[in-house]
Amino acid sequence: MSNPDGELPAEAKAIIAEEEELLRRVLASVEAARHRGASRNQETQGLVAQLQVLRDEAATAPVADLPHLLHQMNQARALLERQETALLPEVSAPYFAHLRVDGPTGIRDYLLGRTSFADASADVRIIDWRFAPVARVFYRYGEGDSYEEYFGERLSEGTVEVRRLVVIDRGQLTRIQSGMLVLARTAEGTWRMMGSGPASQLTGGGTGTAVRPGQLGVGEGITRREGMLDVTAMLDAEQFEAVSVAADEPLLVLGSAGSGKTTVALHRLAKIAFDDHARYPESRMKVIVPEEGLARLSRRLLAPLGLGKVSVETLDGWAATAARVSFGAKAIKQWEDTPPLVSKLKRHPALRRALAARLGVPRSSSATSLSRLRKRLAEIFTDRRFLEGVVAHSNGDLPLTAVDETVRHTMLQIATPLAQELEGVDPERLQTLDGKSLESDTPDELAGTLDLEDLPLLLFLRAQAGSLGAVGRLVHVVLDEVEDFSLVELFVVGKLLGEARSCTLAGDEMQQTSTSFAGWPAVLAELGIRDAATCRLQVSYRCPRPVTELARKVLGSQATTAAPQAGREGAPVGLHHFPDEAQAYLFIGEALRDLMEREPHASIAVIASGPEQARTFHRVVADMSARLVLEGDFSFEPGVDVTDVDNVKGLEFDYVVIPDATAWAYPAHDEARRRLHIAITRTSHQLWVVSAGVRSPLLAGA
């Protein structure tokens, strides 16, 4: 439904007028405060000068005068810090929600933002969503509801009269959502009434309103994503309760794809840092995720929450840094192309249990040196009987061929490097005609290397001895997509947390990219957590109903008993089949070109089953500036990203096309089910599933 400005209902016009007048008052008030701040700069300079004088006096003062001087210095420093932290709201977007309550003090308006600001003379109150008690009313109650909340020890009762989400872009009001009513400002400056949706919706979908199954989009995608509602304003009551869990209590956030797990985890981190910055400094908080794409997205999401300095690392990056610091090594020669079966064995829960039974605790600190522990690992991974035991206890998850492959790979790694064997030979004689070293592109290249999967194992062995060296303790850690963490990685993180165990774990066992997930009790046990507050997010906000239904069908017997609730209806899934790959790719290429012409601001992902398939398809669309992303280096800009399943965990796009939904890529296997499920659930708007030759049996009946 769409109405020109002149045909808007009187109620809609009144809402627009009220919100625009409120924004005008806020901007004028902030601007006045900014002018007052200019004169405050002179006061700041005076405090700095006063502090310098006091320091000079303290350097030569008698001991008896020092307490008085130090007290004055502390007072001056406190005043200075207070002025430095008195930030004003950004005039481009000072707030993102409007709450009006009729409470004990009468009718009052509160605006939710990221910085607290008040101007009683202008009747302006901007509250910080992270800590202001009244923010709980916004997240827990709807318009017209009666509320009852304790603010400290005082019980406050009242009624929610107005609860609206707003979008302010460059200081201009562009969107208002009040219950089911959605109002949007057009590019010409007029207002229209849009089709409505659930007020608790976390994401706004694609750039258009795609409803036709035979076409990607409908050509309405001309609105930039800056017009989307602020995700902080859209936390539902269940999510806000999770965000508000006490900082010293471990929290496990479970939910299906698109239920807001990452949103909850990062907002909780922001709230903890804001509530008690002294105890939880950003420098000792960390976010660890499996893949680079999710790391980049997490950094982008943390920046507007005021946590741009929090370290966000991938599992591999974190392990590599921690290993270098722990062992005091300037560099560790790593091998990044571990054979899949070897990698799987080294990350499997069965290996964790076998290691605990075999190794015990090192008796001396010298036994935990890098060279000693590398030797112990080499002994383990060349012991066939030990490895056969690991395979036997993997419940059929590891084939016996993993033993031979692990032994062969390890023997190449522990061999003497060729350069060391030929030490003393003229270096020029050790160069090939193409300028490479003799061992390049040969098995000899593995000599002296460690697999990426070995680094957590080395840290695990060292942590068992009670010390990780100079690796700093953490006051809080967020582990996102925690079902993809190995047990040894979790053990090491637990040691870095110490006794506090302050952490947020976000995950969904249905989205794991391997079959070695050991279960939530094992996850908590490795972190040293006896019990954790658990939040189960029931609504899938990202994906429309047709997508969630297909995703559940693909999982088959792997699906949970209770189906996730879909946040909204949406376009039917486009299922397209062709006799051969060339025809399928040509069809997709033409559809993408057409979509980009009509919706230039859409984000589109073509998610192939693997990197080679992604490279093959990318050649078809390279001329339309499509980006090939195989190392997680997403720009999150509009356009087409061609990637694979291993790169998209935790991400979302307006449109998703799966170009190779074939029996070869996705056979009737549990791991294939989970991988196809991940690809399907990346879309927030519309999905196409394309196959050629023999269609995947996982799509039977779809």
Pull the structure tokens for residue 37: 């701040």
Are domains 237-320+474-538 and 545-699 of this chain identical in fold?
yes
Pull the structure tokens for residue 386: 């030990």
pLDDT at 698: 95
Region of 189 (left: φ > 0; alpha: ψ -120 to 50; beta: rest) is: left
Instruction: Read off the amino acid at residue 432.
Output: T
pLDDT beneath 50, residues of the chain? 1-2, 4-5, 84-85, 196-216, 218-225, 438
Nearest-angstrom CA–CA distance, 16 and 23: 11
pLDDT at 2: 47
Q: Which CATH class is domain 237-320+474-538?
A: alpha beta
Dihedral sign for Cα 494, 500, 502, 508, please: positive
Q: Tell me 230's DSSP state.
A: P
pLDDT at 136: 87
For 645, other C-beta atoms within 10 Å of its C-beta total 24
DSSP for 465-491, written as a single string: TT--TTPPP-SEEEEETGGGS-HHHHH
Q: Tell me 514's DSSP state.
A: S
Q: If we measure between CA atoms, which residue out of 657, 656, 655, 663 comes closest to residue 692?
A: 663
Nearest-angstrom CA–CA distance, 596 and 564: 32
Nearest-angstrom CA–CA distance, 99 and 125: 10
Q: If we measure between CA atoms, which residue out of 645, 299, 316, 289 comes closest to residue 480?
A: 289
Q: What is the pLDDT of residues 518-568, one digit of tens each?
A: 889 999 999 999 889 999 888 888 888 999 999 999 988 777 666 667 767
DSSP SS3 for 576 = strand
The 3-state DSSP composition of the chain as helix, strand, coil percent (nearest 5) reads 45, 20, 35
Q: What is the pLDDT of residues 113-168, one digit of tens each?
A: 888 888 989 999 998 887 788 888 988 888 999 999 988 778 889 999 999 988 88
| Residue 90 parent element (H or E) | none
Is the domain defined by 545-699 classed in CATH 3.40.50.2000?
A: no
pTM of model > 0.85: no
Nearest-angstrom CA–CA distance, 484 and 645: 14
User: Mapped to the 3 state alphabet, what secondary structure does 339-383 carry?
Assistant: CHHHHHHHHCHHHHHHHHHHHCCCCCHHHHCHHHHHHHHHHHCCC
Note the helical H segments in 61-195.
66-85, 135-140
Q: If we measure between CA atoms, which residue out of 692, 660, 690, 681 comes closest to residue 574?
A: 690
pLDDT at 498: 84
Domain ranges in the chain are 1-199, 237-320+474-538, 348-461, 545-699
Nearest-angstrom CA–CA distance, 15 and 133: 26
